[in-house]
Amino acid sequence: MKGGKSGLYEDLKRQILTMELDPDQDLDEASLSEQYGLSRTPVREIFRTLEGEGYIDIRANRGARVSPMSHESLRQFFMVAPLVYAAIGRLAVQNFRPKQLDELCATQERFRAASQSGDATAMVIENNRFHEIIGEMSGNPYLQPSLRRLLIDHARIGKTFFRPRNEDMQERLRLAVEHHDAFIEAIREHDEDRFVKLVFDHWELSRANMELFVAPRELKADFLPEAAPQS
């Protein structure tokens, strides 16, 4: 853990994305001030920045909390996420700068290394950053805030994707790494149609895992109730 404003900012983002802090969880301003060696004023500044980015809510007379996830917000997420990702992708292919592509490639290598080592936290962070960079490539001030907000919930409800417990999940993760490589190639070649097709392939790859998080499989009963006697 780093101290100071930058440490608090980065730690809160990471803890929210990886669900170390639960949705709707209250944030203790006094405790964070002491923990990071800050007065209340810079802590409040960080809170306002994170609120603007969609990570937290600040409520009058009730303090700050992690952005909640409700059934309505999840419904809206599943409805619009692939549409926003596709629009962002088309603009990224048109508008990217070479330095941004270099950063995207570097982020992908960190994501690849994390996937190979099984570091779930690093996978969440690097995957989130990978898609943030594509948003920055788009250069669109209207779509970028929507993308950032979507990525927060994408990370939170898709966290099981980065904890593969069986061969099927491991294969899905391997395909996700391949998709990232293909995104980079499509951007490099200015191929909008290929990028958009990849968006929907990538979305379908992760959607089932996110749905599993929202609606997990039922627990197995230890025993079956005895059949009622037949009359």
pLDDT at 164 over 80: no
Per-residue confidence (pLDDT) for residue 227, from 0 to 100: 56
Task: Name the token pair of 1.
Answer: 């853990």
Q: Strand 26-27: give its sheet, edge to edge.
A: 26-27, 63-66, 56-59
Q: Tell me: the pLDDT tens digits for 54-78?
A: 999 998 878 899 999 888 888 888 8
pLDDT at 231 over 60: no
Task: Name the token pair of 117.
Answer: 């080592």
Is the domain defined by 4-66 classed in CATH 1.10.580.10?
A: no
Per-residue confidence (pLDDT) for residue 75, from 0 to 100: 86
Q: How confident is the model at residue 218 (pLDDT cuts 50, 70, 90)?
A: low
Cβ proximity of 136 and 102 under 8 Å: no
Secondary structure (DSSP) of 72-90: HHHHHHHHHHHHHHHHHHH
Q: Which residue has the higher pLDDT, 227 or 46?
A: 46
The whole-angstrom separation of Cα 178 and Cα 170 is 13
Please state the rounded mean pLDDT for residues 46-50: 96
Fold classified for 71-214: Four Helix Bundle (Hemerythrin (Met), subunit A) (1.20.120)
pLDDT at 15 over 90: yes
Burial state string for 72-106 with b = 16 or more CB within 10 A and e = fewer than 16 = eebeebeeebbebbbbbbbbbbeebeeebbebbbe
Q: Which residue has the higher pLDDT, 136 or 161?
A: 136
Q: Tell me: the pLDDT tens digits for 174-209?
A: 999 999 999 999 999 999 999 999 999 998 887 766
The whole-angstrom separation of Cα 24 and Cα 156 is 12
* Of residues 82, 100, 203, the one with CA closest to residue 147: 82
Per-residue confidence (pLDDT) for residue 159, from 0 to 100: 72
The whole-angstrom separation of Cα 186 and Cα 89 is 10
* Of residues 137, 86, 133, 81, the one with CA closest to residue 111: 133
Residue spans per domain, the chain: 4-66, 71-214
